[in-house]
């Protein structure tokens, strides 16, 4: 049994977590560190990025913090280069960086729509490209953070966010088809349901609680429940899984 459970460990692995300056990004970084990985983190907010690094190092793992905007391909290359230089390799990418809006479609400014697509979709692609080049000789695991809103709606006007997360599903499947056989790189996606985050703090007061009627589990998700799913997809425990979208939503997509 011990050998079976060892498949979920990340000892000796190096993981990059994007958007790691707050919320679920911090939870991913510290959770993967608890599972045994050394961590590279990136985000635009330097001071909060340093706070995350302190939390990872307090767990006894090495951590590299690189200020970066994932919408800039050069920044993505810089994050990966720093990771390889200081930690030796890249085994795992958690493509977590993301933003959202809740603006009626007739009033959403073009630049606001483009910003969401640039970070959520383009940023995920650019980071995957950079990591794919670094992983090509040894394989690895890419976990894109999508959303149930890529497959359904949530009674808020979120065209940009929903479009970006629907596109993540297609991106995940295509990269899995391209890379798993030739490069040994598995590519999967998580679809979180209702979790509290900086993004949901922008929603109307009580919104998440009002939406729980759609969730068979009857409650919001806890960060650890999303992190353990990410560890599963990042680890050898999921070695025969690629190109899938795994909802972590308390059953929301069944309703």
Sheet with 14-18: strands ordered across: 63-67, 38-43, 14-18, 92-95, 140-145, 185-192, 245-248
Q: How far apart are CA 228 and CA 240, in angstroms?
A: 18
Catalytic-labelled residue, pool 161, 203, 207, 240: 161
Q: How far apart are CA 111 and CA 208, in angstroms?
A: 27
List the alpha helices (DSSP H) in the chain: 2-6, 23-34, 46-58, 73-87, 110-117, 123-135, 159-183, 207-210, 223-234
Residue of 170, 207, 240, 230 whose CA lies nearest to 34: 230
Residue 183: CB atoms within 10 Å: 17
List of residues 6+ apart from 233 with CB closer than 8 A: 141, 143, 186, 188, 190, 241, 246
Residue of 185, 187, 231 whose CA lies nearest to 8: 231
240 as an active site residue: the answer is no
Q: How far apart are CA 42 and CA 97, in angstroms?
A: 9
Q: Six-digit token pair at 155?
A: 């009674």
Q: How far apart are CA 42 and CA 94, in angstroms?
A: 11
Catalytic amino acids? 161
């Amino acid at each position: 049994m011990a050998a079976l459970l060892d498949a979920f460990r990340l000892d000796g692995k190096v993981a990059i977590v994007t958007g790691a300056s707050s919320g679920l990004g911090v939870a991913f970084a510290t959770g993967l560190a608890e599972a045994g990985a050394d961590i590279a983190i990136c985000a635009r907010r330097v001071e909060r990025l340093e706070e995350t690094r302190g939390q990872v190092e307090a767990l006894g793992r090495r951590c590299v913090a690189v200020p970066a905007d994932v919408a800039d391909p050069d920044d993505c290359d810089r994050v990966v280069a720093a990771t390889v230089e200081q930690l030796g390799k890249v085994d795992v990418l958690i493509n977590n960086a993301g933003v959202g809006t809740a603006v009626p479609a007739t009033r959403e400014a073009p630049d606001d729509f483009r910003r969401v697509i640039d970070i959520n979709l383009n940023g995920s692609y650019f980071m995957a490209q950079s990591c794919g080049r670094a992983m090509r000789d040894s394989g690895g695991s890419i976990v894109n953070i999508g959303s149930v809103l890529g497959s359904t709606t949530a009674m808020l006007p979120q065209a940009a966010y929903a479009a970006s997360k629907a596109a993540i599903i297609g991106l995940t499947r295509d990269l899995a088809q391209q890379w798993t056989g030739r490069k040994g790189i598995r590519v999967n996606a998580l679809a979180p349901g209702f979790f509290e985050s900086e993004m949901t703090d922008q929603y109307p007061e009580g919104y998440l609680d009002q939406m729980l009627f759609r969730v068979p589990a009857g409650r919001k998700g806890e960060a650890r429940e999303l992190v353990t799913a990410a560890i599963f997809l990042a680890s050898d425990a999921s070695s025969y899984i690629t190109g899938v979208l795994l909802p972590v939503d308390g059953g929301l997509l069944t309703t």
